[in-house]
């Protein structure tokens, strides 16, 4: 009798450990700085200003809390309005639906692994192979423009002069078939904060995946 050893079990374990699949979101980020203003100081204090007239105040509060969490992850700390060194304002939205024909996935791909067994005569074999899921070639889908704008202004200057002195602006934008802005905002936020305070000079394309450490803790628990 043939002995096959432990390698098939090890191979199976490796495949299962690799997970069932990963979604990737491609986000374009543009960061702008004011040449005449000093850069954002490490460890400085922020007050995040939400839009009191937001159409969905509950979503607005969620985004505000997520921004506060991301600021603290980068070493900044919250402060009351009258003491904060910087004010952070934000806005977001969903562009109009547009019909388009796509051949390959626009900004989201999925990859996984399949495993099975087969028999030829008296010999047993195991096969493992990758598989990929893409939209059908030439399939018409609706694409949405998802965007997030973050603006940082000098708090002391505003309190003294009553005028906004913008220090940094970060634009994050993604195009795709999902109109679930609540979910997509997690990836736009993480991408924007990867370039926080920087002048990118041009749009920078970032790939943000679902297991991205920065996304963990932002999405609501299921």
Q: Domain holding 85: CATH number?
A: 3.30.160.670
Quick check: is 119 in a domain?
no
Quick check: is 217 in a domain?
no
With 60 as the cut, is the pLDDT of residue 185 above it? Answer: yes
* Structural domain that includes position 85: 20-34+42-93+144-209
CA quadruple 26, 94, 34, 192: dihedral positive or negative?
negative
Rounded mean pLDDT, 130-142: 53
Rounded mean pLDDT, 59-71: 96
* Number of domains composing the chain: 1
User: What are the start-end ranges of the H helices in 111-165?
Assistant: 155-161
* Contact (Cβ atoms closer than 8 angstroms) between residue 147 and residue 92: yes
This model's pTM is above 0.85: no
Quick check: is 173 in a domain?
yes
Quick check: is 27 in a domain?
yes
pLDDT for position 17: 40
Rounded mean pLDDT, 151-158: 95
Tens-digit pLDDT profile for residues 166-178: 999 999 999 999 9
Pairing of strands 22-33, 110-120: antiparallel
Burial 174-208 (b: 16+ CB within 10 A, else e): bbbebeebeebbbbbbbbbbbbbbbeeeeeeebeb
* Contact (Cβ atoms closer than 8 angstroms) between residue 135 and residue 141: yes
Q: Tell me the three state secondary structure of residue 92.
A: strand
* Per-residue DSSP letter, 81: T
With 80 as the cut, is the pLDDT of residue 200 above it? Answer: yes
Burial 35-63 (b: 16+ CB within 10 A, else e): eeeeebeeebbbbbeeeeeeeeeeebebb
With 70 as the cut, is the pLDDT of residue 213 above it? Answer: no
How many Å apart are CA 75 and CA 81, to the nearest integer?
Answer: 19
Quick check: is 121 in a domain?
no
Quick check: is 51 in a domain?
yes
């Amino acid at each position: 009798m043939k002995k096959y050893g432990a390698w098939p079990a090890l191979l199976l374990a490796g495949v299962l450990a690799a997970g069932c699949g990963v979604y990737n979101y491609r986000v374009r980020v543009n960061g702008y700085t004011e040449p005449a203003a000093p850069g954002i100081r490490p460890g400085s204090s922020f007050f995040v200003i939400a839009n009191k007239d937001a159409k969905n105040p509950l979503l607005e509060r969620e985004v505000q809390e997520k921004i506060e969490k991301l600021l603290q992850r980068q070493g900044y700390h919250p402060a009351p309005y009258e003491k904060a060194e910087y004010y952070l304002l934000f806005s977001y939205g969903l562009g109009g639906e547009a019909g388009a024909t796509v051949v390959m996935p626009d900004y989201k791909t999925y990859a996984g692994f399949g495993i099975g067994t087969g028999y030829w005569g008296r010999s047993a074999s195991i096969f493992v192979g990758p598989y990929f899921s893409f939209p059908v070639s030439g399939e018409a889908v609706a694409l949405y423009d998802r965007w997030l704008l973050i603006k940082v202004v000098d708090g002391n200057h505003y309190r003294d002069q009553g005028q906004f002195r913008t220090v940094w602006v970060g634009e994050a934008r993604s195009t795709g078939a999902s109109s679930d802005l609540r979910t997509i905002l997690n990836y736009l936020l993480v991408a924007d904060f990867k370039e926080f305070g920087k002048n990118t000079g041009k749009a920078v394309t970032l790939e943000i995946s679902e297991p991205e450490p920065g996304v963990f803790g932002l999405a609501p628990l299921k």
